[in-house]
Amino acid sequence: MTVDTKPRRRGRRGATAAPPSARDTNYRQLKNPFPAMKAFSDDEIANMHETAFRMLEELGMKVLLPEAREYFAKGGAKVDGEMVYIGRDMIEAALASAPKSIDCVAGARHRDFTLELGSLTFQPGAGAPHATDLVRGRRPGTATDYREMTRLTQHFDVFQMISPLTEPQDVATHERHYFTTEAQLTLTDKFPFLFSRGTPQVMDCFEMLRDFRGASDEQFLNTTYCYTIINTNSPRTLDVPMAQGLIDFAKFGQVSIVTPFTLMGAMAPITVAGAITLSHAECLAAITLTQLVNPGAPVCYGTFTSNVDMKSGAPAFGTPTHFQASLAAGQLARHLGLPWRSAAGSASNLNDVQAANENQMGLWGCLMAGATVIIHSAGWLEGGLTVSYEKLITDVEVLNMIAELCAGAKAGTDEIGFANALSEVDPSGHFFATSQTMERYNTEFYEPVVHDYANFGTWTERGAKDATTRATDVWQTILADGTGPQLDDARVGALNDFIEKRKAEGGAPPES
């Protein structure tokens, strides 16, 4: 491995290999600086909220887990078979008890962050059955892929949360949760994700996490150490593992991020207003369940709503309707006051211009919607069927630039620079040597990960590599570097012992 993650050039400054930039922006705790954009008027948003109430009260929600229906019934809902009819009062009580701010505790203190309206976090693309890269091609996700992608996620500060990028399909399903949890705990010091695939698996994971963090049972209950994603089955269905996940995570004080995944024109109405009203209703039902289980339990609002292509029925992402759906969901989240997640993503089949444009378009929708968590913000292809190593890198470039925008710029006397720049240079001169430039040349600008500014001749001499090809060099270089987070050997040993013991006991199959 001889490549370098940062391109080196013979520059005007005469250096054969310029020193790396000394710029150091904190990407770990971001505040969203982008003004919120509205899709609809406040009255229209209020009508959507009212319609969601009406849906839950009159049309009801199908809840497949008996235990969840019991919680709803105890809370005052009318239950008829699998259908649950949820009154407005119950929902409003849940919205009142759900916390508006959630402190998330990672493996290392400098990686802790807060989920609340105004804060901003990114997750890479999650849950893909396949992985792809230019070296090894497209294949079902493996344990190796899972670990490599987790290490890549660790490498970039702009990912505050670990997501399950690809499914390690070569790990037996009754042991997979040991594998994924161990990988996150030992390869990263960031905030981890746990799947909700039934109570036995979740309890195994909670135990691993509690002990690895050195927490007591009580500390664990009172501290948010991990998150799960809860997808409703639109329209209006909450299945067994999802309902169980909401209950388990609420009981133990861990975060559920509720995300109806609705495609306009298929599992949701064809309009943004209709689809988001449906998503909102499903979200309210799920949030209500968490608060019935444990008032004050951390929970995030969320949506992932895009449209299908009406000619083929295929999902589309990064479209104008996807953008508007994020905006509308953001208005509803602000209406509730809850932290919330939205999603970017791409339908493209490779890391090409379509993939870049779709993902960035979706990102701007999320950013101008004020999303607290933006999932699938890097690497996601084929509408989530594949995560690409190269796309992960090229999307990080965009996320880093957004993080730089979060940091903002200054316009004090030194920056405007009448004395130290503007008056130092005569007409037709240059600013390479002004006092201001000399003070700042090594810190002023963001230094790219994979973008290349070489001119056409130089770029051609260097092999005329496109950004995707260069991205291969970047991820290979990162993976070739064996360094990881600081670990406590005793806790790693105890984690491995626990896993071996549980495997010997037969593991825990997923529920479905």
Judged by beta carbon, residue 114 or residue 476, the one nearer a copy of itself is 476
Judged by beta carbon, residue 53 or residue 178, the one nearer a copy of itself is 53
Judged by beta carbon, residue 203 or residue 418, the one nearer a copy of itself is 418
Q: Measured between alpha carbons, how far is 413 from 134 in angstroms, rounded to an integer?
A: 49
Alpha helices in 417-508 (DSSP H): 435-440, 456-461, 467-480, 489-504
- Closest residue by Cα to residue 362 from 332, 324, 394, 390: 324
Using DSSP bridges, classify how beta strands 119-122 and 101-104 pair: parallel, antiparallel or unpaired.
unpaired
- To a copy of itself, the closest distance from the beta carbon of 337 in angstroms equals 20
One-letter identity of residue 38:
K
On whether the CB atoms of residues 300 and 283 are closer than 8 A, the answer is no
Judged by beta carbon, residue 75 or residue 362, the one nearer a copy of itself is 362
- Closest residue by Cα to residue 28 from 184, 188, 190, 181: 190
- Closest residue by Cα to residue 262 from 287, 234, 229: 234
- Closest residue by Cα to residue 133 from 460, 421, 394, 491: 394
- Closest residue by Cα to residue 468 from 352, 345, 318: 352
Cα angle vertex 472, ends 393, 464, to 5°?
Answer: 110
On whether the CB atoms of residues 224 and 207 are closer than 8 A, the answer is no
Judged by beta carbon, residue 401 or residue 479, the one nearer a copy of itself is 401
Judged by beta carbon, residue 466 or residue 497, the one nearer a copy of itself is 466
Q: Which residues are within 8 A (CB) of 70 and not within 5 positions of it... i.e. 6 or more apart?
A: none
On whether the CB atoms of residues 367 and 322 are closer than 8 A, the answer is no
On whether the CB atoms of residues 380 and 392 are closer than 8 A, the answer is no
Beta bridge partners of 238: 63
On whether the CB atoms of residues 327 and 38 are closer than 8 A, the answer is yes
Helix (H, G, I), strand (E, B) or coil at 260: coil
Measured torsion, CA atoms of residues 182, 300, 280, 292, in degrees rounded to the nearest 10: 100
- To a copy of itself, the closest distance from the beta carbon of 71 in angstroms equals 18
- To a copy of itself, the closest distance from the beta carbon of 37 in angstroms equals 5
CA atoms within 13 A on the CB side of 391: 33
Q: Which residues are within 8 A (CB) of 445 and not within 5 positions of it... i.e. 6 or more apart?
A: 21, 23
> 407 exposed, middle or buried (CB, 10 Å; 0-12, 13-18, 19+)?
middle
Judged by beta carbon, residue 62 or residue 491, the one nearer a copy of itself is 62
- To a copy of itself, the closest distance from the beta carbon of 198 in angstroms equals 21
Judged by beta carbon, residue 35 or residue 506, the one nearer a copy of itself is 35
Query: How far, rounded to the nearest angstrom, does the alpha carbon of residue 188 sit from its chain's CA centroid?
Result: 16
Phi/psi at 380 (5° precision): -80, 125
Q: Could you say which DSSP state residue 95 is in?
A: H
